[in-house]
Structures are given as structure tokens and as C-alpha cells.
Amino acid sequence: MSWALTYYIFDRRKIKYLLPDQQALGAHTDIVQFHDGETTIFRWTHAGARPMGVGINKQCPQCKRLKTRSPMQLAKKAYYKMVILRCSGCAQETVYELSPEWNWVHKPASKGEERGAWIFRTDVARVQAQPSSMETT
């Protein structure tokens, strides 16, 4: 969290190059960047802790055991789109899919990598023209 408390980033469009070393920040919060009518949200992902950017409970929703869910091995192409967590206690599986509006900043973390990876979504502000008070009807 020291990074978030120490730095305020102003006018830095290339924030994506800083993100790979900021998994501690990503585990706690998203990063929101505002620039020229665009809002970009950066979200940290980790196959076991925050699959596809979704914060999860460490407790299995079915058998209620703690820390029993782990990611299943998927084909490399599938891993870009989904994570499946399987409980070692009851074998219940939960699928987490990457929403179409989210993209990878670099690429997903490889199996066994503890750092995780980042995804992002950019929204463009839609500004509607306001009628001028000088106009007459």
C-alpha cells in the first residue's frame, strides 16, 4: 500500500508499465485513470486469489471449508478467457470468465507465478450538448 499512499500520478498515460511490480496494490484496490474524456480501470487478477479480477471468498460456497479451492489446469488459450476453481473437499467447481469489455494489460500470469497479472477496461465519456440559454424558441 505504500505505493498508493506515497504517489499521486498526474498526467502519466503509460501507467501500464508500472503495474507488473504493483501486485500488492492490486490485491487491495483497482486503479482508475482519468484522461481526456476516458476513464480506464486497471484490475489485478490472480488465478487463485482474484480470478479474472473477481474478488472471491476463501471459503467454498458448497462445503464451507476454508482455503480448499484451487485453479484447474486449462489449455493456454482457455486461460486467457477463464479460470475454474475446484474445491479439494467436495469437488465443486466455479467458473470465472473474462468479460468481453476487459483486456489484458500484458498477458495472463503463467501457472505457478505468484504475482498475478492486470486487466483493463476503458470507458469513453459521452458528453451531450446542453442547450444554450441564449437560444430562443
User: Taking the domains of the chain in order of start, what are their residue ranges?
Assistant: 2-124
Q: Residue 130: what pLDDT?
A: 60
User: Counting every residue, how long is the chain?
Assistant: 137
Q: Residue 23: what pLDDT?
A: 78
Please state, in angstroms and rounded to a whole number, the distance separating the CA atoms of residues 94 and 86. 7
Q: Residue 13: what pLDDT?
A: 67
Q: Residue 99: what pLDDT?
A: 93
Q: Residue 75: what pLDDT?
A: 72
| CA distance to 36, 56, 76, 97, 129, per residue, from 73 (Å) | 41, 19, 9, 15, 51
* pLDDT exceeds 90 at position 96: yes
Percentage of the chain modeled with pLDDT above 70: 79
**Of 66-75, 90-99, 102-111, 125-134, which has the strongest mean pLDDT?**
90-99
Query: Per the confidence metrics, is the pTM higher than 0.85?
Result: no
Sort 54 into a burial class: Cβ within 10 Å, 0-12 / 13-18 / 19+: middle
Instruction: Determine phi and psi for 113, rounding to 5 degrees.
Output: -80, 125
Cell of 31: 486503479
Instruction: Determine phi and psi for 2, rounding to 5 degrees.
Output: -60, -35
* pLDDT, tens digit (0-9, with 9 covering 90-100), for 27-85: 888 888 887 888 889 999 998 889 999 999 889 999 999 999 999 887 777 778 899 99
115-30-114 Cα angle (round to 5): 10
37, 128 contact by CB (below 8 A)? no
Cell of 14: 503509460
